[in-house]
Chains A and B, each alone.
Chain A
Amino acid sequence: MTALLEVTDVRKYFPVGRRRLFGGPSPSLRAVDGVSLEVERGETLGLVGETGCGKSTLARCMTRLHDLTSGRVTFDGTDISTLSRGELRPLRREMQVMFQDPYGSLNPRRRVGSIIGDPFAIHGVAEGEERKRQVQALMELVGLNPEHFNRFPAEFSGGQRQRIGIARALALKPKLVVCDEPVSALDVSIQAQIINLLAELQEQLGLTYVFITHDLSVVRHVSDRIAVMYLGKIVEIADVDGLHEHTRHPYTRALLSAAPSADPDALTGRERVVLRGDLPSPAAPPSGCRFHPRCPKARDRCLTDDPELIPRLDDGPEHRAACHFPLADGELLTLSRPAIDDVAPDLSFDPAAAEEGTTA
């Protein structure tokens, strides 16, 4: 069986600044710049990366909330990248988006019952009493009191609102749910509830998730596979264990080392990498490998050659990394010194800094 969702070389550029009146192409921001991945039925694909790396844009491209600049998205065997809004409509039942902000994603002027009933109304599925019955069943499914049908979003807590968002997303029993940071606006205690709810629902309804987050502990908990994004590109993609145990890309290593752990023993032996410098602007991405200005392993080749996302070292085809000089198992990143002069990421591995980093 083919993958549920196939993304092939998708690019999304946003024009920035004013369009010039006469001629001249406007400068563009490369939010997503050549991403290919596939999502298998029933799995959860985690998508991680820093703020501004293009995760959310990619999610909106996958679901065609954005038009693509180029590339192709195939959902359930249908190429959706060029469909019109009308042609897309029946497919909207099959793929849903869950949004980050439980406050912003619910219309404050409408009652919860009618918000959750929206999918039914839009697709003309159930009317009147039948719709109300189904909405209340959904509310029960996601752990809300069905009696609160007539309330307004403002009367619910953040966690409850996210449950409303889940109920709305699941109303038409979609195949794919793209969760755009569904828990990052919630308290940690509530996060666990929502994540567990999502996991239960996945089992019950056979859902496929694309789970976007910048929280590595969350993504490790929920995902089968993880894709790491940096500046609009995927730098490494692998199953959860492979990514953690055989990290190939220096950026992935840095990201993983920044994740907090509940187990202090796990932290003591772990390498602590503190990246220097800021995320470069996606409007003017660095040449060659986009990570090279911040990479401790950067060589001359990284300045000019953009590495492909392919299996590195002795990895299987499922584990791909975009790095010319991938980390071998057990190699310490902090011992590397960049061989190029114009960029000198000042990396150190002194225990004090590491300590600071973990507590901060």
Chain B
Amino acid sequence: MTIDVGRRDAGGPEDGLAVPAATELAGESRIEGRSPWQLAWERLRRDRVAVVSLVVIVLILLLALGAPLVAAAVGHGPDEQFRDIGLTPQGLPKAPSRTFLLGTDDLGRDLLVRIVYGSRISLLVGVVSTLLAVAVGVLVGVVAGYLGGLVDTVLARLIDLVLSVPFLLAGIAIVSISGPSLTVTVVVIAFFAWSSIARIVRGQVLSIREREYVEAARSLGASDWRIMVVDVLPNVLAPVIVYTTLLIPSSIVAESTLSFLGLGVPPPTPTWGGMLDSSLGYYRFAWWYLLFPGLALLVTTLAFNLFGDGVRDAFDPRTDRLFAAESTTAPVDE
């Protein structure tokens, strides 16, 4: 039981006698029921690694949003080629300097500006394809698990089918037919990601639909849709959220992989995968060209993964090891 001071949202007249614990505390306070979400948020807030990861993620997000500001501050556009000052006399990329903070690429473009712009593509593809995959996966999983029978058989086999298709081979095939573009990248990644979510959700729903509260809803005359949305969905949301935060970095990596193979978002749009690809011919002369896009990718995926771990721990009280270790060393400021 937790006590929130100064919060009230229940209507009706205050009855001090009805809530004896409240009268023992100073005036305004009352015992507040907390949803599992609030409890998870509390746990997440106390997880230092997760908080740091979240801060990093927010910073990356701000950089992505403020990419034009960065470009303006440096004075270099993302696609602007500085063949005169951005390349050595031999036509090779220039090392980091005061003009080009992270150096230039093989066409004399500012690497810093391109990395910042590249984060837009990475985040956009990562988040959009993940959301798309989660939406489809949750829908398929809930419907298959709840309705069961023939619907479930068909959908479960479909999930197995998609899971058994190798991502890269099929991705290469699809992109070479349709031609590379941002939309195709998002769709391809989402297409291969929804099935694992659907499978997880279906498994959860299979057990949830046998619960008595689902039967109670049915006996009240609730429709299948209402039961799926009101009674089943909230109970699968925790694993879905955990999986979503872990799916974002893998989608980012998938986008970079496609771009690296020249199948992602086509140039000259800056992407981290594309930069890594074109840096390969120069890494012996220009270490920065390979290092900085790689670092950007690493930091981003690491932050998302660590944050996802934190979210998972927060939603699953059994993995409380973190707080047990922390409470012995430092007092928790709560």
Contact = CB atoms under 8 A, between A and B. Distances in A.
Interface of A: 63, 65, 85, 88-90, 92-93, 96-97, 99-101, 104-111, 118-119, 122-123, 132, 136, 145-152, 155, 165, 168
B212 A109 contact: no
A105 B221 contact: no
B11 A132 contact: yes
Interface in B99-156: none
B33 A150 contact: yes
Given A122-B222, A147-B10, A105 B15 contact: no
B169 interface: no
Of B212, B234, B235, the most chain A CB neighbours within 10 A belong to B212
Contacts of B211: 104
24 contacts: A65-B219, A89-B221, A93-B221, A96-B220, A97-B215, A99-B212, A100-B212, A105-B212, A105-B216, A106-B216, A107-B234, A108-B235, A109-B36, A110-B230, A118-B220, A118-B222, A122-B217, A147-B10, A147-B12, A150-B10, A150-B33, A155-B1, A155-B33, A168-B216
Contacts of B18: 145, 147
Contact of A106 (B34, B213, B219, B220): B213
B35 interface: yes
Given A92-B221, A145-B18, A147-B15, A122 B226 contact: yes
A355 B18 CA distance: 47
Contact of B35 (A90, A132, A152): A152
Contacts of A92: 219-221
Contacts of A150: 9-10, 33
A94 to B, nearest CB: 10
Interface string B70-86: 00000000000000000
A82 to B, nearest CB: 17
A97 B214 CA distance: 12
Contacts of A109: 35-36, 234-235
B213 A105 contact: yes
Contact of B219 (A96, A104, A149): A96
A151 B222 contact: no
Contacts of A147: 10, 12, 15, 18-19
B231 interface: yes
Interface in B197-240: 211-213, 215-223, 226, 230-231, 234-235
Contacts of A97: 215-216, 219
Contacts of B1: 155
Contacts, number: 85
A336 B220 CA distance: 49
Which one of A97, A118, A155 has the greatest number of beta carbons of chain B within 10 Å?
A: A118
Nearest first, the 8 A-B pairs at minimum CB distance are A92-B221, A151-B33, A105-B212, A104-B212, A109-B234, A97-B219, A107-B213, A89-B221
Nearest to B17: A145
B66 to A, nearest CB: 38
A310 B213 CA distance: 38
B213 A88 contact: no
Contact of B10 (A118, A149, A165): A149
Nearest to B213: A107
A136 B15 CA distance: 14
Contact of B235 (A90, A104, A107, A146): A107
A106 B221 CA distance: 16
Nearest to A114: B230
Contacts of B33: 111, 148, 150-152, 155
Contacts of A165: 216
A119 B223 CA distance: 12
B221 A88 contact: yes
A346 B132 CA distance: 67
Contact of A119 (B11, B15, B34, B220): B220
Nearest to A100: B212
Contacts of A152: 33-36
Contacts of B19: 145, 147
B215 A65 contact: yes
A101 B36 CA distance: 21
Contacts of A118: 217, 220, 222, 230
A261 to B, nearest CB: 32
B78 to A, nearest CB: 45
A150 B38 CA distance: 14
Contacts of B12: 136, 146-147, 149
A120 B233 CA distance: 20
B221 A110 contact: no
Contacts of B218: 65
A96 B222 CA distance: 12
Contacts of B230: 110, 118
Nearest to B235: A109
A107 B215 CA distance: 11
A105 B10 CA distance: 24
A335 to B, nearest CB: 45
Contacts of A155: 1, 33
Nearest to A152: B33
A96 B221 CA distance: 10
B231 A107 contact: yes
B147 to A, nearest CB: 13
Interface centre among B11, B15, B19, B216 (most CB of A within 10 A): B216
A119 to B, nearest CB: 5
Contact of A123 (B36, B213, B219, B221): B221
Contacts of B213: 104-107
